[in-house]
Structure 1
């Protein structure tokens, strides 16, 4: 009885079973009529079946109730996630919370966006009301109350304000949502490619399974007496509101270099986007189709007039001439070098900056942007989808990633080749929407900065404070597994603070052997504006890591050491260099060659050599000990003196090792102070090269490697202050 308490239907079932059992086992006094016996059996069977049906229905009801409770819990969790997204984007989407948006009609639009009905009416905002955030642009009002994106679509467009919530839900259960969505794409050939399959065109295809569909292929003007010369492995791709805005193509092979330049000329393209390196993992991914100086390809003469190498990409400017034409055209190649050999970039920050640079550089009257990787499908698809979706988010406040990929695949086979790439596209667009466009032209910087620091009387905040909060919200959080090497027991005593560890992917492993000491040091490699891994940010050496510090200097060819805190034995900060003469630190011999002082900076020049490899000679290193930063202050006492330090280091670096030497920067924890030095150094280079100031991007790039770079709001503002000081002094 106790076992069925609380379950009345089980109690009824028990009594019924007892009745049936007693009825079945009771001896009859009279032998019943066979017909009556049959009726009785039928009745018993009917009663039993009815009871079983009742039980099954009751179980179904219980399951439905439980499922509704789970659904309610999930709905509550989604509500909490949405609140988080709303909090993160409120600075950039306050006016958008209660309305849908649409873009104006464009008679040229023939892309996948055509399935939606748009209203041409729009709301104007004054220039002073606009901020740099992606959503703070002129907004387009909806004709009706319902969003057209919610009707008739299996995969509706997502509002930017809901994108974080959507991505978080899709990533649950080991990204099952993304897996299911990506696998729903049609894989393989979806249209005819008869021309590409012709025998005379086979050698023009890098990969036999990634070739051009007939209906969207670029048809070249045939060369005389060669009818097959109209083929190139390339397809037109529609952009946002721009038909055939892109050409997706493979990385040229040796046989198609001339065809490639014919296409550039014929289509009047001004920008080439290259999203691969020439060789990756020992395999040739693309033939070098451009000259370092001048080269002739058939009747084309290509001359490289400028090359601008940056940390994650290279910009090359060519002049293009054709025999028989009295015309010289300029073509820019944007070569993204930061895509890893396997997988996708760890962060989208660099690629987003690259995409914006291309968008800004492409003339409005130019032909299609030519995009290629190796096959012209995976990375090429990623680039194009992100570019289209950024335009869509800016104009409409929604993104339609799924249908965009689907549309691209109808034009060229397998655009966006992996689930990992599909997820990366979402992460990249989310980062762009959260961070917005933060670059400020030099000519507008002073006025923009004063506007940013003005306190709003209603919110008691400022644009600058909001920007720093946004920076904190998009800064990656390191997990223990990200810092597994620093967390090894044998490395514990090499860390000054166990909550400020470098991630494994950024570690500079020591090469010079020093007895049984490990190859770990608490340091992180970071990009400057122009050079990958140009900075090494580290903590002030501990007494037991001084030898490791000098191994780091030698092994990584460091020509500058920037010291941003004081010698303090009470905090375990010893003097790690010889004041005069020569000292040996493990396998590294350090000799002080000179010492001088200039205002707030003590300059020491050391000559170091590796005693285990004396045949390698000496390395000259200058140490810059900065005295203008009191230990109790968040920022230096003088903007001018700190800027002078940065420019001194920059000048020395240009003079040493042909500018290829690295710079070690250290403070007590290898964080806030070191991050400020690196960030301002990046901004100064940015001003020189691009005439823009983007403090947000500089700090975000550094924090992608180490989250404690530029820790305090005062430090972040100081970066802006020094940028203004640099502009006014120069």
Structure 2
């Protein structure tokens, strides 16, 4: 450590040099010399302690910062700020004493805390720029590539600096857009002249050729995408649909909400039924709503004097990308899978239209990079080929680009990298996890469930299926998010610790249902160990909770009342009364905290019991209390009707039921009541509970998600269902038993619902027609890889399961 200070500041203050007073004044301004020896010793001791805690690699950066230059061989990666500072020596020659004085001044300037930290940061960024790969990254190494950058965030910033070096200022001209201010929804975001979209001119409108949109190239072809902004005015609606028609596009991807935090992000430029936008009529023919996105089908009709022409356009709307946040990557990838599937079935020689909102390049660039990489047949990735400066994704005009860089520089100083680049690489990391098995996790057709169930008989096929299940298990473990203590701060608070059965199973704060009704004696009456789980068609469709403790029974009924839950499914039999107290009675009325619960009817079935209950909240009016004194007048508030279903066929020692019949009966009853329940049950959640809030719950929710898949998309994807469930509660679904049991439930549901057979015929006919007469396309087709998923995965079944499935098949065939 002694050598670190040999080239630093002297122990004593530098002697004052003779000369004019102005020179002495300037020297005093430049030299940040401590005023006393004690202050110097204290500062040097602090610096020494800081150095002593640094590693060897950090000390090398310190030496580079002290030298004020990068390491040898790295001159080609000089930081832009360093390059601007190295302007050469324009000062006149100095005398020997002047050179010595200048050297002392530079030494003390370099040792100032502010300058030292700045130089150290510049050196770190230069090192990060050297770590940027100069060639595409192999797909097998891309996971490690992204993991390293997640641990060392400075590497993200190094790549961003390299992106800025690739900007061609000659292509950053916005002369045309700057003269069309009335046609720009966001005046500070304009398209470049060299790649803007040019529309045919309309008579009596000389500016009709302009629209704020730009072409973007993909990995495979030029002008693969058209990037535009959100529609903000009603006249822009007609211009947007004219652009869609003139380009011949059949796919629109919308990556923003209509409303977000009480702000209008984008006008709803599509009609609910039918509307005329000048000469183009747009009709909404189909709407499919999912938990994270909506898929709409539009029919465009244009009438001319000669003929009437119609086209079909798909609209993919990603609805769950919050403002200034990251999307759920698996949902983002699922949306892209559906877009790719539609484009492969309906190829056109026209660009795909992608839009978000003002200055949301991260969203558009993430989607375009994702699209290009998944369509590419290459086995390597090149993230920097989809940079934000060289491509037309950065639409800001030249004089606004400096202001944006300043904002991004401030963001980079706080986060080591702008959000746009981190969003792209985080998204690509999700692709990397799925890259090697992208075909393996594709949904399977319903009629192939039967074929999959028979593959366990042969030893070779059974080993193949077991290896695939192991592979899917590892993949799900990688994709499952990790919840830290900070994410679950509410459950770890001192007053809430006793409300949890297991300290390792605590809901994250962003996904737990908050209670509103005042109850109990706890300081935090808003907490209950429950978490919201997304369904297939709606977010927060389920609320997962544990069997209430004696101190949380009131909180359980508060959860039912505050969130207007219409159904409670209890998947566990009652154990010890001490550990699992009863939370419902069989007849009459009973009080649970501030609620009165009345049993309306009670039924007992072979596989379950059902209680139809009426929940009323007891309230007291202050005026009545003052008028009657001690006699408080009770007033009934709003009434909730709820059905409590409790299973009986699931032994406490078994992870899965002995058969699928009982669970199917429970699912049918819950879904039937959801259709008949009052007060819009399609918007209210269903409570699913077990003794610990983890086991058994995943089987029920996963089965409901797969049933919705079969009803809407006529396919089954257990893998995607498990991914959705584990977003907010990673412990759901045991991969050894519950994951495999889901396939048995789906086979039973398919075999007992003959209405699915019509879709099997349609799917087979579509597959045959695609093989024989598929229209030619100028795009490079993606190679269809054979996958384990086409062979499906299954488990070894016991004799009871085999006999049951054989009986189901025999019954359906005879029927």
User: What TM-score range do you get, normalising by the shorter chain?
Assistant: 0.7 to 0.9
Distance 1:637 1:272, change over 3 A: same
1:635 alignment counterpart? 656
CA distance, structure 1, for counterparts of residue 257 and residue 349 of structure 2? 26
2:287 alignment counterpart? 307
Give the counterpart of 1:496 among 474, 477, 501.
501
2:451 alignment counterpart? 447
8 Å contact from structure 1 (residues 634, 712) kept in 2 = no
CA distance, structure 2, for counterparts of residue 454 and residue 274 of structure 1? 47
CA distance, structure 1, for counterparts of residue 527 and residue 349 of structure 2? 51
Instruction: String of CA shifts for 1:550-585, please: whole Å, max 9, x gaps.
Output: 111111111000000011235611110121111121
The reply on whether 1:194 has 2:175 as its aligned counterpart is: yes
CA distance, structure 2, for counterparts of residue 319 and residue 690 of structure 1? 21
2:363 alignment counterpart? 379
1:37-56 to 2 correspondences below 5 Å: none
Distance 1:329 1:569, change over 3 A: same
Instruction: String of CA shifts for 1:124-179, please: whole Å, max 9, x gaps.
Output: xxxxxxxxxxxxxxxxxxxxxxxxxxxx9954211121122111221234x11112
CA distance, structure 2, for counterparts of residue 464 and residue 453 of structure 1? 16
8 Å contact from structure 1 (residues 308, 315) kept in 2 = yes
Q: After the TM superposition, which parts of structure 1 deviate over 4 Å for at least 4 consecutive aligned residues?
A: 65-71, 187-190, 414-418, 448-461, 613-616
The reply on whether 1:559 has 2:582 as its aligned counterpart is: no
1:576 alignment counterpart? 583
1:280 alignment counterpart? 260
Q: C-alpha displacement at 1:405, in angstroms?
A: 2.1
Instruction: String of CA shifts for 1:205-258, please: whole Å, max 9, x gaps.
Output: 122222111111111111111120011111111223132221111011213111
2:645 alignment counterpart? 624
Q: C-alpha displacement at 1:621, in angstroms?
A: 0.5
CA distance, structure 2, for counterparts of residue 66 and residue 502 of structure 1? 41
Q: C-alpha displacement at 1:421, in angstroms?
A: 3.4
**Normalising to structure 2: TM-score of the pair?**
0.68
8 Å contact from structure 2 (residues 619, 637) kept in 1 = no
Give the counterpart of 1:247 among 226, 246, 252.
226
CA distance, structure 2, for counterparts of residue 338 and residue 452 of structure 1? 39
Gaps of 5+ in 1: 8-64, 72-151
CA distance, structure 1, for counterparts of residue 277 and residue 295 of structure 2? 21
Give the counterpart of 1:695 among 718, 723, 728.
718
Gaps of 5+ in 2: 4-54, 62-130, 409-416, 621-634, 754-815
1:328 alignment counterpart? 310
Give the counterpart of 1:524 among 526, 531, 536.
531
CA distance, structure 2, for counterparts of residue 451 and residue 195 of structure 1? 64
Q: C-alpha displacement at 1:716, in angstroms?
A: 0.5
8 Å contact from structure 2 (residues 694, 732) kept in 1 = yes
8 Å contact from structure 2 (residues 132, 159) kept in 1 = no
Secondary structure of 1:569's partner? coil
Q: C-alpha displacement at 1:378, in angstroms?
A: 3.1
The reply on whether 1:169 has 2:152 as its aligned counterpart is: no
8 Å contact from structure 2 (residues 699, 738) kept in 1 = yes
Secondary structure of 2:670's partner? helix
Distance 1:68 1:455, change over 3 A: farther
8 Å contact from structure 2 (residues 220, 372) kept in 1 = no
1:343-354 to 2 correspondences below 5 Å: 343-345=325-327, 347-354=328-335
Instruction: String of CA shifts for 1:349-404, please: whole Å, max 9, x gaps.
Output: 11111111111123112622111111263312221112212223xx1221111121
Distance 1:253 1:69, change over 3 A: closer
Secondary structure of 1:379's partner? helix
1:260 alignment counterpart? 240
Distance 1:409 1:628, change over 3 A: same
Distance 1:314 1:453, change over 3 A: farther
CA distance, structure 2, for counterparts of residue 553 and residue 623 of structure 1? 11
CA distance, structure 1, for counterparts of residue 392 and residue 266 of structure 2? 25
Distance 1:458 1:524, change over 3 A: closer
Distance 1:275 1:158, change over 3 A: same
Give the counterpart of 1:338 among 317, 320, 341.
320
2:353 alignment counterpart? 370
Matched residues, number: 584
Q: C-alpha displacement at 1:480, in angstroms?
A: 1.7
Distance 1:452 1:396, change over 3 A: farther
Secondary structure of 1:409's partner? coil
Give the counterpart of 1:293 among 273, 280, 304.
273
Secondary structure of 2:320's partner? coil
Q: C-alpha displacement at 1:411, in angstroms?
A: 5.6
Q: C-alpha displacement at 1:633, in angstroms?
A: 0.6
Instruction: String of CA shifts for 1:236-294, please: whole Å, max 9, x gaps.
Output: 11223132221111011213111100011111111111111112223221111111111
CA distance, structure 2, for counterparts of residue 643 and residue 250 of structure 1? 47
CA distance, structure 2, for counterparts of residue 605 and residue 288 of structure 1? 42
CA distance, structure 2, for counterparts of residue 185 and residue 204 of structure 1? 30
Q: C-alpha displacement at 1:728, in angstroms?
A: 1.9
Q: C-alpha displacement at 1:66, in angstroms?
A: 6.2
The reply on whether 1:649 has 2:633 as its aligned counterpart is: no
Distance 1:268 1:460, change over 3 A: closer
Distance 1:494 1:458, change over 3 A: closer
- Which region of structure 1 is more displaced relative to structure 2, 335-344 or 557-566? 335-344
Q: C-alpha displacement at 1:70, in angstroms?
A: 10
8 Å contact from structure 1 (residues 247, 368) kept in 2 = yes
CA distance, structure 2, for counterparts of residue 699 and residue 453 of structure 1? 26
Secondary structure of 2:213's partner? strand
1:360 alignment counterpart? 341
- Which region of structure 1 is more displaced relative to structure 2, 457-466 or 224-233? 457-466
Distance 1:460 1:687, change over 3 A: closer
Distance 1:445 1:263, change over 3 A: farther
Secondary structure of 1:228's partner? coil
8 Å contact from structure 1 (residues 468, 716) kept in 2 = no
The reply on whether 1:660 has 2:644 as its aligned counterpart is: no
Secondary structure of 1:688's partner? helix
CA distance, structure 2, for counterparts of residue 460 and residue 296 of structure 1? 54
Distance 1:278 1:171, change over 3 A: same
Q: C-alpha displacement at 1:188, in angstroms?
A: 11
Q: C-alpha displacement at 1:340, in angstroms?
A: 1.1
8 Å contact from structure 1 (residues 204, 253) kept in 2 = no
CA distance, structure 1, for counterparts of residue 731 and residue 561 of structure 2? 26
Q: C-alpha displacement at 1:643, in angstroms?
A: 2.0
Q: C-alpha displacement at 1:698, in angstroms?
A: 0.7
Q: C-alpha displacement at 1:607, in angstroms?
A: 0.8
Instruction: String of CA shifts for 1:508-564, please: whole Å, max 9, x gaps.
Output: 111111254321000001111011101000011111101000111111111000000
Q: C-alpha displacement at 1:615, in angstroms?
A: 6.8
CA distance, structure 2, for counterparts of residue 458 and residue 568 of structure 1? 38
8 Å contact from structure 1 (residues 237, 408) kept in 2 = no
CA distance, structure 2, for counterparts of residue 712 and residue 349 of structure 1? 19
CA distance, structure 2, for counterparts of residue 434 and residue 216 of structure 1? 34
8 Å contact from structure 1 (residues 452, 462) kept in 2 = no
Q: C-alpha displacement at 1:492, in angstroms?
A: 0.8
8 Å contact from structure 2 (residues 216, 392) kept in 1 = no
The reply on whether 1:222 has 2:201 as its aligned counterpart is: yes
Aligned CA-pair RMSD? 3.0
Q: C-alpha displacement at 1:506, in angstroms?
A: 1.1
